[in-house]
Amino acid sequence: MKHLSKRILCAILAAAMLLLTACGAPSSSAPASTPAQDTSTPASTVDSAPAQPAEGGQKLSIYLWDNEYAAQAVVEAYQAKHPEIEIDLNLTPFLDYQSKLYTSLAGGETMDVFFMRETVLSTYVSKGLCAPLDDYLAAADFDLSPYEYCASQYQIDGKTYAVPYRGGGYHLYYNKDMFDEAHIPYPDMYESYTWEEFREVAKQLTHGEGGDKVYGVYMMGWPWMQMFQAMQTGTKIVDNDYNVDLDTPEVRAALEWYYNTCVVDKSQMTPAEATATNASITPVFVGEKAAMILGGDYMAGNIKNNIKDGNLTFNWGMARCPSDDGVEYSTHNAVTTACMNPKAENPELAADFLMFLCGEEGQTIIAEQGSKPVLNTDATRAAWLKGVEVYSEEQAELYFEPAKAFYDPQNLAAGAASTVLTEELSLYMTENGQSLDDTIKNAVTRLEEEISKLDIE
Amino acid sequence: MKTAKRTNSKLQRRNDILGYAFLAPNLIGFIVFTLIPFVYALYISFFKWDGITDKVFVGLDNYLALLKDSGFRIAMKNTLIYTVLNVSTTIVSGLALALAVHSVKHLKTLFRTTLFLPNMVTISSIVIVWQAFYHPTYSPFSMILRTFGVENPPQWIGDPKWAMLCIIIMSIWLNAGYYMVLFLAALNNIPSHYYEAADIDGAGIWKKFWRITLPMLSPTTFFVVIMAIINSFKVFDQVALLTQGGPGRSTNVLVYYIYQESFTYYRFGSASAMAYVLFALIFIVTVIQYRGQSKWVVQ
């Protein structure tokens, strides 16, 4: 019997050990198991000695996605400036980033800073996942006024929950060689096409079949892109009082326009085709599969790199996006932001980094990388021009034009709006697809259903 | 006599402990990574929970809401269509391939390996190839159809009416080889004297197939049917990688919908309720199959 109990004990211990390792518990909390020894035995001093060059050596951990090179360059610069800080930069693939971030935060991760890939700030704030930064900014006398123009994208109810660091802004980019071939004059930089003119030009630029097909235009199938002209007239999709404004003549006109290019003229890829083929805007333009695109701020860096690598060999130009007469010109312009985790281990350090990121130093680095700084000063502009190389002065002028901005919903319904509209619109934008009436009706019903499930006070 | 019995039972107990000790690593893994989450999911299915703020107890609301949820209804319908078509065709083609490979004399190993190969390649690389096959405009299928004078060939995964069929065809290609290997093993185990006896009695090929081959394969068929049904209900990879549930919601299946509910909308309670409905469905189907087993499976 004695034998036996010993064996049982062994088995239990072995099992317990396995259980512990299986849990993969971070064993940093181990000292807790020997608190009694801590005070007296010399063992404890030996224990703490080899642990890091500690004392003053602070740690800053940052969550970011993998292809955000401009922000990575800022992190490197911050590290170079503060060699005493140990920076732990956690990079996640672009597509998995937002869900990984959310589950990490839900699991109580204590990273100090996280970047926001999607425009879901208000959702995060409503769940208490972003720390208010006002006190830190005030303590450092940080002036937010240069960012006033995009305040609605980082402030909620007067409180600052994020700092902007990279600007947005969509423009029309076109392949000059294709215009020459078709004997079509280039678009004027500021006197933009009306949407009907744009459709006509796109039709004329479309040619070829099968593998040789060249589309007149490519705009990507994002819902707000398909409604671009309605967004210019003030459509919000879901406004901040959670009203859905999709059943309007403006939205109908915009969707019909998009449908006509995809299905009637065949001058543009259908959204379903774009999804099915993983079509992405830069390869489509650089690969000369489309004569015109509506591309964002990121085109600067992409054009530069593709010219450098010898992929982009044609002459290109840029202009304002199409806009109808009598409508004040506006374009999509969403800034990208970074936040502080309320559970940050080093909030002061996190705030310092965030101010570095959106301050002059960080913004100059963002500009040098060919991304659009949110801080528009002579220094950042000069750094951008030098970094991008391939833009002329006039093009830079247009790129930084402080045009009126619209953006897709940034309230709690943002995720639902994107999913529902992507699904419903792709059914309409195809041959023999869902009718426009049904599409709008279904989209409104489904969106309202999703909104009813939100926690809105 | 008495002592012998005692040592026997002692020995038995010792063996038991040894057995459990060997089982322990697997069992603990199962408890930590499967059983606990499984029970916890049932628990949170009665709550409204976003993973961060406090859980709110809502009783059966999450389950009742599914009755009115159009997305859930569509996902359920798609899953059932996928399961029925996928299970029947995969098993029939698996069996057909097994019979074919079994009957060839040369290069048997080559055929077997080639047909099993899709199972050994990661699905993400397979999908890249099939994406090219299913390209809405440049698909080789479309080109073939065009040469035969079809003016508007389907847009494959770009077409809501075709997308599900595309996924099913890919799944058959993916899985038929696996079931073929199982059937092949069973075919090899059928004693040849049954066929010899049938030959003497003058039975033809069909008679032999229906009276000997099929009944002798029935235990394997039973296993294959159960596995195929469970795997079909759980389909996710093909959908997530090939169509993301689209166009529209035409290929949105239950597991993908559960994934969206959790990681797009952060409604973990409702997602868990859906997962439990799926579990109940699989469970019931499997129980029915076990009950019906005696009617057609030769023991």
Query: What is the tens place of the pLDDT at every residue in B117-146?
Result: 898 899 889 998 998 888 887 788 888 888
Q: Are A180 and A305 in the same domain?
A: yes
Q: Using CB atoms, pick whichever of B50, B138, B266 lies closest to residue A210.
A: B138
Helices (H) and strands (E) in chain A, counts: 21, 13
Q: In the prediction, which pLDDT does B6 show?
A: 66
Q: How far is B237 from chain A (nearest CA, A)?
A: 15
Cis peptide before A31 (omega within 30 of 0): no
Per-residue DSSP letters for A13-78?
HHHHHHHHHHHT--GGGGGGG-HHHHTT-THHHHHHTTS-S-TT--EEEEEEETT-HHHHHHHHHH
Looking at the fold, whether A177 and A272 belong to one and the same domain comes out as yes
Average pLDDT over every residue of B42-68: 92
Indicate the DSSP class of residue A194.
P
Residue closest to A346 by CA, chosen among A121, A84, A158: A84
* A344/A325 same-domain check: no
| pLDDT of the residue at B5 | 63
Q: At residue A86, what are phi and psi to the nearest 5 degrees?
A: -95, 110
Residues A199 and A286 in one domain: yes
What is the b/e burial string over A135-157, where b = at least 16 CB atoms within 10 angstroms of the residue's CB? ebbeeeebebeebebbeebbbbe
pLDDT (tens digit per residue) in B188-229? 999 989 999 998 988 888 898 998 999 999 999 999 999 999
**Domain boundary pick from A364, A379, A400:** A400
- Residue A379 structural domain: 59-166+334-400
Nearest to B230 by CA among B277, B281, B270: B281
Q: What band does B48 get if pLDDT is binned at 50, 70 and 90?
A: very high
pLDDT given for residue B77 in this prediction: 96
The percentage of chain B sitting over the pLDDT mark of 70, rounded to a whole number, equals: 97
Q: A425 in the Ramachandran plot: left (φ > 0), alpha (ψ -120 to 50) or beta?
A: alpha
Mean pLDDT taken over chain B: 90
Q: Does residue A350 share a domain with residue A328? A: no
What average pLDDT does the segment B56-77 reach? 92
pLDDT of residue A336: 92
Minimum mean pLDDT range among A79-83, A276-280, B99-103, B167-171 = A276-280
Q: Do A392 and A268 have their domain in common? A: no
Decide if A370 is inside a domain. yes
Nearest CA in chain B to A103: B51
In a domain, A286, yes or no: yes
Q: Which tokens in the block code for residue A92?
A: 């996640």
pLDDT for residue A298: 86
Please indicate whether, in this complex, the C-beta atoms of B158 and A423 are within 8 angstroms of each other: no
Please list the alpha-helical segments (H only) found in chain B: 2-30, 36-44, 61-68, 70-103, 108-116, 123-133, 140-147, 163-188, 192-200, 205-208, 214-233, 237-242, 254-263, 268-296
pLDDT above 60 (res B111): yes
- State whether A198 and A141 are in the same domain: no
Provide CATH 1.10.3720.10 ranges for chain B. 63-296
Q: What is the pTM of this model?
A: 0.81
Among B7, B266, B267, the strongest candidate for a mutation testing the A interface, having the largest count of A CBs within 10 A, is: B266
For residue B71, which residues of chain A lie inside 8 Å, CB to CB?
446
- Per-residue confidence (pLDDT) for residue B3, from 0 to 100: 58
**CATH for A383:** 3.40.190.10
C-alpha to C-alpha distances, B291 to A75, B222, B284, B296, nearest whole angstrom: 63, 12, 11, 11
More confident residue, A240 or B232: B232
For the domain covering B63-296, report its CATH number.
1.10.3720.10
Is there a contact between A301 and A309 (Cβ–Cβ < 8 Å)?
no
Mean pLDDT of B89-107: 92
Q: Name the residue among A112, A159, A166 with its Cα closest to residue A337.
A: A166
Task: Report residue A356 CA to chain centroid gap.
Answer: 20
Are A66 and A159 within one domain?
yes
User: Does residue B15 belong to the interface with chain A, where contact is any CB pair within 8 Å?
Assistant: no
**Per-residue pLDDT, A141:** 93
User: pLDDT-based confidence at B2, cuts 50/70/90?
Assistant: low
Q: What per-residue confidence (pLDDT) applies to A431?
A: 81
Segments of chain A with pLDDT less than 70? 1-57, 457
Same domain, A261 and A129: no
* Domains contained in chain A, number: 2
